Chains A and B, each alone.
Chain A
Amino acid sequence: MSTAMNFGTKSFQPRPPDKGSFPLDHLGECKSFKEKFMKCLYDNHFENALCRNESKEYLECRMERKLMLPEPLEKLGFGDLIAGKSEAKK
């Protein structure tokens, strides 16, 4: 943590998160989704682009269990996944 007391030196300014803080998942309700996501990451050498479906499912689980404020998935950056799914359904 850096304090901004030194004039002229670069310092880090922490910013609060946009949507606030995740409530803690005390009961482990979304643990299975998390495990799926972590496994996907391990298998794909930690590439996030390949595991976005799993992360979307984890966030959906949270929203269902009231552990996260429900938000349309497009606003969370999953717009392309939604569009892909609706195209596949057609």
Chain B
Amino acid sequence: MGGLWHPGWRRVAFCGWRWIHPGSPARAAERVEPFLRPEWSGTGGPERGLRWLGTWKHCILPARHPALQPPRRPKSSDPFTRAHVEEWRRRNKTTLTYLAAVAVAMLGASYAAVPLYRLYCQTTGLGGSAVAGHVSDQIENMVPVKDRILKISFNADVHASLQWNFRPQQTEIYVVPGETALAFYRAKNPTDKPIIGISTYNVVPFEAGQYFNKIQCFCFEEQRLNPQEEVDMPVFFYIDPEFAEDPRMINVDLITLSYTFFEAKGGHTLPVPGYN
């Protein structure tokens, strides 16, 4: 068959047809494909088809034909991109390894923090409180704030199982911040057996308690009273002068110091508050 059905003309006809009928080239290919098979015409053959393919670059249809397309190689076998992909994979692996190592290190650090902090507290002597210890130089140099008079009232308590008579020897005392003061408690053992007591204290209001510094007292250590013995127990303390500068303490005029005695079982040592 020649003439208009010559393969070259066939393409012209088809592309013209496609131009008029824009649409899915694949569907068109199904319809037109039989006409484009090389065996349709005696002349030409696949080479001719390919040659004509070049002249009709903008005509998509022939390119879709599987026999007419350049063979497509899979991406990973292309040597250039394969190296890239390998490189990315290696980099990802190292990054992930680093991240995992950091995570494990953080976990380990959080466990190690407990003994490390304990060491730090022991060396610097901070004892668990954020304020560095009250040095005796501070007492030496502190200036009493004479215009702020505070009333310190005293309270004494005894645990139910302890048979001591424990009471303060003054109900209150008037001090100013920055002035050292002395106060007395009295304890009597009315029983016939020696009793060992140990005490702790409390200061109300709680915020003022941080300014209440005891230079020496009788708390947190075992005190032994022989039968029928009565002793005076002094408390030597001062209120930190910075109390007068704390805005939260503006309305605080009364501080209550309360001691409580407990019976100490022989051989037991109470942990002193702070970091041991």
Q: A residues within 8 Å of B by Cβ?
A: 1-2, 10-22, 24-26, 28, 31, 34, 37-38, 41-42, 45-49, 52, 55, 58-59, 68, 71, 74-79
Contact = CB atoms under 8 A, between A and B. Distances in A.
Interface string B1-18: 000000000000000000
Contact of A48 (B140, B173, B184, B216): B173
B215 A19 contact: yes
Interface of B: 129, 133-134, 136-137, 139-140, 142, 144, 169-176, 179-182, 184, 200-204, 206-207, 209-210, 213-221, 223-226, 229, 231-234, 236, 238, 260, 272-274
B174 A47 contact: yes
A2 B236 contact: no
A13 B201 CA distance: 10
B260 A20 contact: no
Contact of B216 (A13, A14, A20, A45): A20
Contact of B201 (A10, A14, A18): A14
A24 B184 contact: no
Given A26-B226, A46-B172, A48-B174, A59 B136 contact: no
B198 to A, nearest CB: 10
15 contacts: A2-B206, A10-B206, A13-B210, A16-B272, A18-B133, A34-B232, A34-B234, A37-B184, A38-B169, A46-B174, A48-B173, A75-B136, A76-B236, A77-B139, A77-B180
Contact of B273 (A16, A22, A45, A71): A16
Contacts of B202: 1-2, 12, 14
Given A17-B219, A19-B215, A59-B182, A75 B273 contact: no
- Interface-centre pick from A21, A34, A41 (highest chain B CB count, 10 A): A21
Contact of A10 (B134, B174, B207): B207
B77 to A, nearest CB: 63
Given A17-B216, A18-B213, A76-B215, A24 B274 contact: no
Contact of B209 (A13, A17, A76): A13
B181 A55 contact: yes
B170 to A, nearest CB: 6
